[in-house]
Chain A
Amino acid sequence: MLKVLLSRLGQAALVMLVVSALSFVMFRYVGDPVASMSRENASAEEKAELRRSLGLDQPVVVQYGCFLENTLSGNLGISYRNQRPVTQLIAERLPATLELVFVATVLSLALGIPLGVLCALKPNGAAARLVQALSLIGISTPTFVTGIVLILVFAVSLGWLPSFGRGQVVDLGWWSTGLLTLSGLKALILPGITLALYQLTLIMRLVRAEMIDVLSSDYIRFAKARGLPKRYIHFHLALRNALMPVITVTGLQIGSLIAFAIVTETVFQWPGMGLLFIQAVSFVDIPVMAAYLLFVGLLFVLINTVVDILYAVVDPRLRARSA
């Protein structure tokens, strides 16, 4: 068991090292920070001075060492664009993204599970066929198109909902929330739906497949033979077991959703980490880009490692295979 734990953690550390090397490479070689920070007609001496103050005149290995050291102590540098610590920028944007991801996850579960069950219980019914057809359209429609169409209909034509921003937010210590004001909640609806649709199809298909699997198992057949009511069999006995993998996948997908929120945030000008990242890309604001990649990378590695270890704890077969 200890061996599995160590090998998983070692693997996680290795991945993080690779991710950090990649973000350093970006840090160091993408664009010219001096050119983007200095005035249009800065003299050569001014530029050289700036270069020195940023530590860009040191050898690459030394720079990478510095980068790692700084990163581990939580110092991710200062944004070239707005001259503020990157850690602070990300901390400010984090609540917006997490709230969006939370709303999207809740929405996709609330819709995906019933729809998946529906498709599993009556696979050849008209409703199930309609849902299946719609899910194919859902897979084929990119998130940004969904977002644009929603904006066109609900914001531009009908004027019911805001099309950008978070509305009014309430500060709870360092966390700013849009869940407590009416305008904040209204602002969450369209981006929440857009991001949820990306997740919805996946959850629906998964629930359907798991449900069909479980429904054909022995204990369900015995339950039917005992004459238990259908509702009890479907929702109490079958659905509970079908939901196990759904919970795992939903957990694993959270990292994916945070990364994918980049697109939704761009469409709705949602002031989250994704928008911060994309703005950083267009302004070649490397510290922000590198920090974002490190942060999301860390999140991914954390989630994956925890799930892997939990699986190894639960399932001895996996322990034997990976050790």
Chain B
Amino acid sequence: MKTLASSPRHTSPSLITRIGAPISVMIAALLALVIVGCALMASWIAPYDPTDLASFELINAELPPAFTAEGDSHFLLGTDNQGRDLLSAMLYGARVSIAIGGGAVFVAATLGVILGLLAGYFGGKVDAVIMRVADVILSFPTILLALLVSGIARALFPGAATAQWAPVILICAIAIHEWVQYARTVRAATMVETAKDYVRAAKVIGLPPGRIMLRHILPNVMSPVLVIATINLAAAVLTEATLSFLGVGMPPTYPSLGTLIRIGNEFVFSGIWWIALFPALTLVILVLAVNIVGDWLRDRFNPKLRVKR
């Protein structure tokens, strides 16, 4: 409680000091916003359309970045093995990565919050079943479950359909592991809230359970969910990149950052470093920035989770 009372939220009036973020967090947030912003506006700011296969010229393949001696000024960061402008591919790729990461976080949070509410509110058998499933899922690492899900999904959408459904498959593959965290947190918070007077009163006047959970309990258990979501976004983007790197994610025709690194990895040995390095750098900066903001949010809004200093 001491940390809460002494937090600047209660003392300082202006917005900037009220946020009270150290300069490093500000920079990280700005970086994340810039990358996300560029990715969202990819179709306007990208010099070429990386999804238009007909526009690639093989004669332009594997051109080094413009700032090197052999570089071509048309392609700022060089081209990939098919003559695709790397900068454009990265902008579109970042958009794909962020969309899938965000989608996975959204699906996981929604699923986790609903199951957590049900488990915490009803308790008993419902709680036991949900939490046992959660325990089992948590004992496997994300990457293995994700590979499993994409393996099964390949069965449902064979051939060309796999590529078409790749984003949906990836979102499910990542979310199947991540919802557990939300469910556990929400369940614990819901149990606390359910015992409070306002919920008991709501029960007494005969409100249906669904309404009590969504309108009365949910708003009071949401803040940790948002914190977890921020931290999870970084993890989800990383998992997507890993799956794409392993070749079970986004197809080369519609690459994410991970797919680009996978393509680049094949050329690292021939000294063509830029295809792998620039997307990798973008990925690391994006994830690092989100992680810094997430860590700070966790410390700021959830003193209980704070690592003791």
Contacts and interface: CB of A to CB of B under 8 A. Distances in A.
B139 A281 contact: no
B147 A148 contact: no
B268 A156 contact: yes
Contacts of B141: 255-256, 259-260
Interface in B282-309: 283-284, 287-288, 291-292, 295, 307-309
A63 to B, nearest CB: 14
A106 interface: no
B236 to A, nearest CB: 12
Contact of A156 (B143, B144, B152, B269): B269
Interface in A266-317: 266-267, 277-278, 281-282, 284, 289, 293, 296-297, 300-301, 304
A143 B246 CA distance: 12
B81 interface: no
A278 B277 CA distance: 23
B138 to A, nearest CB: 10
Contacts of A144: 241-242, 245, 261, 265
Nearest to B243: A263
Contacts of B144: 259, 293, 296
Contact of B291 (A136, A149, A156, A259): A136
Contacts, number: 119
A142 B283 contact: yes
A287 B24 CA distance: 50
Nearest to A255: B141
A212 interface: yes
A284 B37 CA distance: 38
Interface residues of A, number: 50
A140 B308 contact: no
A154 B273 CA distance: 14
Nearest to B270: A156
Interface string A51-64: 00000000000000
B136 A266 contact: no
B152 A140 contact: no
A129 B248 CA distance: 38
A255 B145 CA distance: 13
B3 to A, nearest CB: 16
A18 to B, nearest CB: 8
B147 to A, nearest CB: 7
22 contacts: A26-B148, A26-B152, A30-B151, A30-B155, A31-B154, A123-B309, A141-B288, A142-B238, A142-B242, A144-B241, A148-B261, A148-B268, A156-B269, A156-B273, A259-B143, A262-B143, A263-B143, A277-B147, A278-B246, A282-B247, A289-B151, A297-B140
Pick the 10 closest A-B CB pairs, nearest first. Answer: A140-B288, A29-B155, A30-B155, A140-B287, A145-B280, A259-B144, A256-B141, A144-B245, A304-B139, A259-B141
